[in-house]
């Protein structure tokens, strides 16, 4: 399997609703419409907090999700497979994963764009609940081979080259004989330029809330291994760019919520904290661990610390500049194909 320059760095480990709901803070509850938009924005499927009644019907989902992908205009030639963890939050999925897929499809109109999810739990839930069928990676690769695709570019929506990215690379190696060329594109945060671009994108996305008394906290998933370094690295990138009101934390690793709270107190002067997921989708972690009403949610903990809180339930995939970065990575992978 051929990989582009940075995608070969596999020795990492996994850093593993289209509306913004205001969090009940010291100043009360506020609800505003969201602007249109782990490794992949991981969520845990099937939690009781998910609002099943708000989900679109299965037939509507089939129509909407199919619209994000192009028809195969070069059968037997080239295809792009966009691989995501997946989410059962339908509105967030369309505004994030679907939007990334659409951006890639529009950037390469003569090449078919396909979808695969890595979470079988999400795939099974969507099929049972909504009648929506989605390929897992093996099914997608088998289908591409059966359809006569000879050149395949795989673009993950992962944030980093962690466990899930490494698993994907290993799975692709098993299919080397099924295609003439397979290229695995870079995850979101790979090069220095990527970190600069993401820092710029996430700060511009929060600019409307900046009143001089507000801190901005992005909640990532986190992982126990080396690829978790993307979070402190992004924090340092923000600091070097002068964004000292921005704080990066994780749900399952470090920096933890306790670290973020300590940093907020050390900085001082903040009355409000705006929370947003540093994940591709706004799924279970965003809706529950970040914005939930449980006493250990990030919103609740910060409320107890005396901060007014506001939650932006929008995944990174809703930010146009983030989608463009995935497009750039896909283009680099496409350009690396032997002519």
User: For the purposes of burial, counting CB atoms within 10 Å of the CB of 35, is it exposed (0-12), middle (13-18) or buried (19 or more)?
Assistant: middle
Residue 180 tokens, joined: 């003439």
Q: Is 285 a catalytic residue?
A: no
Dist CA 175 CA 178 (whole Å): 5
- Which tokens sit at 67? 């619209």
91: tokens are 């509105």
Per-residue HEC secondary structure of 6-21 comes to CCCCCCCCCCCCCCEE
Write out the H or E segment, with its range, that includes residue 267: helix 257-267
Among 158, 221, 285, 329, which one carries the catalytic annotation? 221
Beta strand segments in 52-124, E:
78-84, 112-117
Question: Is cis: bond before 255, omega within 30 of 0?
Answer: yes
Rounded to 5°, the CA angle 324-254-198 comes to 15
* Cα angle, residue 35 at apex, residues 20 and 257 outer, rounded to 5°: 45
Catalytic residues: 221
């Amino acid at each position: 399997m051929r990989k582009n320059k940075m995608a070969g760095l596999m020795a990492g480990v996994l850093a593993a609703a289209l509306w913004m709901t205001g969090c009940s803070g010291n100043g009360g509850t506020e609800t505003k419409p969201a602007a249109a938009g782990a490794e992949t924005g991981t969520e845990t499927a099937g939690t009781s907090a998910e609002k099943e009644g708000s989900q679109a019907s299965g037939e509507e989902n089939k129509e909407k999700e199919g619209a994000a992908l192009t028809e195969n205009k070069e059968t037997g030639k080239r295809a792009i497979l966009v691989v995501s963890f997946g989410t059962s939050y339908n509105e967030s999925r369309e505004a994030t994963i679907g939007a990334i897929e659409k951006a890639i499809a529009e950037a390469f109109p003569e090449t078919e764009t396909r979808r695969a999810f890595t979470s079988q739990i999400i795939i099974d839930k969507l099929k049972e609940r909504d009648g929506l069928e989605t390929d897992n990676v093996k099914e997608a690769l088998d289908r591409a081979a059966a359809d006569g695709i000879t050149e395949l570019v795989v673009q993950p929506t992962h944030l980093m080259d962690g466990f899930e990215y490494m698993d994907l690379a290993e799975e692709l190696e098993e299919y080397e004989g099924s295609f003439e060329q397979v290229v695995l594109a870079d995850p979101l945060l790979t090069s220095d330029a990527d970190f600069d671009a993401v820092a710029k994108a996430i700060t511009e996305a929060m600019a409307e809330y900046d009143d001089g008394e507000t801190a901005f906290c992005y909640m990532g998933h986190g992982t126990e291994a080396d690829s978790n370094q993307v979070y402190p690295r992004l924090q340092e990138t923000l600091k070097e760019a002068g964004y000292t009101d921005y704080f990066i934390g994780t749900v399952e690793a470090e920096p933890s919520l306790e670290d973020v709270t300590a940093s907020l107190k050390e900085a001082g002067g903040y009355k409000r904290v705006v929370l947003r997921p540093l994940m591709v989708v706004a799924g279970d972690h965003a809706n529950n661990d970040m914005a939930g009403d449980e006493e250990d949610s990030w919103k609740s903990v910060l409320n107890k610390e005396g901060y007014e809180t506001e939650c932006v339930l929008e995944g990174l995939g809703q930010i146009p500049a983030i989608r463009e970065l995935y497009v750039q990575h896909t283009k680099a992978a496409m350009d690396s194909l032997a002519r």
